[in-house]
Structure 1
Amino acid sequence: MTKPALPKIDPFLLWLVGTVIAASIIPARGAGATVFGILADIAIALLFFFHGAKLSREAVLAGIGNWRLHLLVLLSTYALFPLLGLIVARFSGGLLDPLLANGVLFLTLLPSTVQSSIAFTAMAGGNVAAAVCSASLSNLIGIIVTPLLVTFTMDGSGAMGASGHGSAAGLDSVRSIATQLLLPFLVGHFLRPVIGRWIDQHKAILQPIDRSSILLVVYSAFSAAVVNGIWHKVGLYDLAVLLAASALILALVMGANALAAPLARLPREDAIVLLFCGSKKSLVSGVPMAGALFAPAQVGVVVLPLMIFHQLQLFLCAWLAARFRREMTVAPAVPRPVQGEAAMLDRAGEIGLPIPEACQPGVVANLELLGRHAETLLREDRA
């Protein structure tokens, strides 16, 4: 029997933890912090440039007609998630530092992931073209919607924009994010006809660029947070509360999506897309957005809940995708060939098939041979 695969810890989590530890021990200060800040901005622009170049326009067009599915994914991402974020942040406000509670709310306002949503959808046997379209649409919309949601939900709650606080700062942040994230993304996508083939052939080389960019931003953000005393404000109790809050939000969203799929009469392939694309939040988009929306000293604290949620969603979605894959590969019940002369004659009579007496021994022998082959194949499938 094949043993169920246990979810594995994403190695990237270990790099994230290592980066946080490094920033805690040797934080960038003064001129060093300025240099790392500039490098982080360059890395993020490069990251979104490659994301745009990797986006296949053909794959998006192939799945764009499934408007009902995309609407459900967007409602889950930008309506259900924020509503739960507001409720959880409100009730956890007395348990957590207000900035950490804002971090919980902030993660619920982010777009969905792209790479992992598509990868898990493919693993589970879902509609990959629709997943590409939904995840890409979520990220494009999020560049505008997330800053606006931050402005409307956190205004007056202690959140500060990169250039101040209030609605004016929120609109400034929208422009800042459009310049830092959307512009490089669009440039990369419009250059895809020129560099797309090279990008597709070197995905394994480009993945470290993606992750290195995030690690650089995390180091810069946590350095500023450490200098401002993050570990005097955040302890094991806070981490436990953040883990519980993340698990609650994720469970409620995935449960709601699982219930919504049959109500919307989605086929299995589209239900898988809703489950994975509609329940994920992007670390890749969230970290640079936090840098543009919050003061530098706040970014490390704000993205801490996102980092916890990110690993939790990967852990659970990997387990679910593997389970769906196993369900797809379970062998259906196979009718066994009838055995023995009497059973063969009865079956032949049921279907109206005359078998001459001279042929009966040969038919019985062939049925016995087919029976042995069937048993062998079924034993190998169960192994």
Structure 2
Amino acid sequence: MRLLRRLRIEPFILAILAAVVVAAFLPATGGAADALDWVTTIGIAALFFLYGARLEPRELLVGLTHWRLHSVVLVATFVLFPLLGLLGQWLLTPVLGPALAAGFLFLTLVPSTVQSSITFVAIARGHVSAAVVSASVSNLLGVFVTPLLVFALMTTDGSVVITWDSVGSIALQLLLPFVVGQLLRRWILPVIRRIPRIALFDKTVIVLVVYAAFSEGVADGIWSTIGAAELAWLLVACCVLLAVVLGLTELASRALRFEDRDKRVVQFCGSKKSLATGLPMAAVLFVGQPIGLMVLPLMLFHQIQLIVCAWLAGRYGRAADAASA
């Protein structure tokens, strides 16, 4: 437990890993799988409804005053990452196979995190209010941009098939609940705030999505195709991807002569990928396909980014404190 605290591995991550282990030995099959499918479908819709209810629209308007900073974050999230994802998919397909390589590309298409991005910016003594806006805008646009990027980049080589049924599922499970949540925010938000530990609902849905995805993989026998070498290559690829993005966002901030506190926003908000948003999207977008393999790169990258960025933010924070002292 002491080691886990040092590595900042949250109980949520442990719950996700536990879901993978349980799915490996006790996968949901038959009627249980059908019931789980309905539960996750309803849970994903409720999750995006809550996302819409929580997002403060006025934050987006305030953020327009820092348009250069937010533009760099969005370019890193939805342009730089996908370009690196395409390059990574091309390089990794011979060693990982098409499914895992497609999953590597998918992780680069999801939006940035909100909570961890803001937390790391705060630890690094960065511009917290700007981080709130950048992370929120990324998640808001991600609901629309990520499916479009999947359509544009992942359906051209045949590794992913998107049908009109998938389009309808995206609209019903992601976009419609999100918009309804925004419209009803005035009445729903006070109710949400009175519910203790409402965040557990979000995490429970994610854990169920992971369990359902890996159960399907076990039932289909796809895990027999993954070996230690493939996992090692995938870990290395995720580490290299994070290092490249952290380095390029730092260089871009220096080139644009941002203040130090704004540099931290660009680096931490521009280098994150959201597990909480990406997993439900994968469950909707990749119906009938090896979802377990699709989301495995995102799960690994998420944990790596938490460990590395926690260390980096602490280093920045200590340097800033020393400078002010």
Q: Shorter chain as normaliser: what TM range?
A: over 0.9
Structure-1 residue corresponding to 2:185 = 192
Unpaired segments ≥5 residues, structure 1:
164-168, 334-383
Unpaired segments ≥5 residues, structure 2:
none
Distance 1:247 1:67 in 2: 30
DSSP-derived class of the 1:296 partner: coil
| Residues 13-70 of structure 1: per-residue CA shift (max 9 Å, x gap) | 2111100011111111111111101100111112122222222234333323211111
* Structure 2 CA distance for partners of 1:118 and 1:173, relative to 1, 3 Å: farther
Out of 175, 180, 183, the position equivalent to 1:182 is 175
Q: CA deviation at 1:328?
A: 2.7
Distance 2:134 2:254 in 1: 19
Q: CA deviation at 1:279?
A: 0.5
DSSP-derived class of the 1:112 partner: coil
Distance 1:194 1:156 in 2: 43
CA contact (8 A) 2:53 2:178 kept: yes
| Residues 95-142 of structure 1: per-residue CA shift (max 9 Å, x gap) | 012100000011111111122112222222222222222222212222
CA contact (8 A) 2:121 2:128 kept: yes
Distance 1:326 1:51 in 2: 33
* Structure 2 CA distance for partners of 1:159 and 1:295, relative to 1, 3 Å: farther
Distance 1:197 1:37 in 2: 30
| Residues 150-176 of structure 1: per-residue CA shift (max 9 Å, x gap) | 22222242333353xxxxx5xx64443
Structure-1 residue corresponding to 2:116 = 116
Out of 243, 256, 260, the position equivalent to 2:248 is 256
Q: Which moved more, 1:153-162 or 1:291-300?
A: 153-162
TM-score, structure 1 normalization:
0.79
CA contact (8 A) 2:74 2:138 kept: yes
Distance 1:292 1:144 in 2: 13
Distance 1:297 1:79 in 2: 26
DSSP-derived class of the 2:160 partner: coil
Distance 2:129 2:324 in 1: 27
Q: Which moved more, 1:48-57 or 1:261-270?
A: 48-57
CA contact (8 A) 1:224 1:296 kept: no
* Structure 2 CA distance for partners of 1:122 and 1:298, relative to 1, 3 Å: same
TM-score, structure 2 normalization:
0.92
Q: CA deviation at 1:263?
A: 0.8
CA contact (8 A) 1:92 1:101 kept: yes
State the one-letter code of the partner of 1:195.
I
Distance 1:332 1:136 in 2: 29
Distance 1:17 1:62 in 2: 38
The total of aligned residue pairs comes to 321
Distance 2:139 2:173 in 1: 14
| Residues 168-211 of structure 1: per-residue CA shift (max 9 Å, x gap) | x5xx6444323211222222233232232443455x60111111
DSSP-derived class of the 2:94 partner: coil
CA contact (8 A) 1:53 1:191 kept: yes
CA contact (8 A) 1:221 1:297 kept: no
Structure-1 residue corresponding to 2:303 = 311
Distance 2:242 2:86 in 1: 14
Distance 1:189 1:210 in 2: 17
CA contact (8 A) 2:54 2:189 kept: yes
* Structure 2 CA distance for partners of 1:180 and 1:293, relative to 1, 3 Å: same
CA contact (8 A) 2:151 2:162 kept: no
Structure-2 residue corresponding to 1:290 = 282
1:48 and 2:40 are equivalent in the alignment: no
Cα RMSD over matched residues? 1.9
Identical counterparts, % of pairs: 49
Q: CA deviation at 1:222?
A: 0.9
| Residues 277-314 of structure 1: per-residue CA shift (max 9 Å, x gap) | 11011111111211222133411110011100010011
Out of 263, 268, 271, the position equivalent to 2:260 is 268
Higher RCO, 1 vs 2 (CA within 8 Å, ≥6 residues apart): 2
Distance 1:328 1:22 in 2: 44
State the one-letter code of the partner of 1:205.
R
Structure-2 residue corresponding to 1:70 = 70
Matches within 5 A, 1:153-192: 153-161=153-161, 163=163, 169=164, 173-192=166-185
Distance 2:123 2:56 in 1: 19
Structure-2 residue corresponding to 1:11 = 11
1:277 and 2:304 are equivalent in the alignment: no
Structure-2 residue corresponding to 1:358 = none
**Structure in which a larger fraction of residues adopt helix:** 2
Asked which structure has the greater CA Rg, the reply is 1
